[in-house]
Amino acid sequence: MVIDDVTAKAEMIYEARLQALLEPEHEDEFVAIESESGEYFPGKTMNDAAKAARVAYPGRLTHVMRVGHRAALHLGSHVQ
């Protein structure tokens, strides 16, 4: 499975099953989604979520998302 497929499937799983479940109590935390199984791994940090997914599925790609956001991280600068 290529990275774009993993991402697309994980985002579909998030929107269909996980968004309503996770956002009320875990907004701004992270979730790693293993797209083949649909299993998910929440964590307070991106590293926590990714590590839990790697332990459960060491040979598979997972997609990490920030709960309640379209992107896991916001990069750039703030101009005042």
The answer to whether residue 30 sits within a structural domain is yes
The answer to whether residue 73 sits within a structural domain is no
Q: Domain range for residue 34?
A: 3-62
Number of domains comprising the chain: 1
What pLDDT is recorded for position 3?
A: 78
What pLDDT is recorded for position 77?
A: 66
The answer to whether residue 68 sits within a structural domain is no
Pairing label, strands 63-66, 30-33: antiparallel
Tell me the pLDDT tens digit for each residue of 1-50.
687 899 999 999 999 999 999 999 999 999 999 999 999 999 999 999 99
**Amino acid identity, position 11:** E
Tell me the pLDDT tens digit for each residue of 53-79.
999 999 999 999 999 987 777 666 666
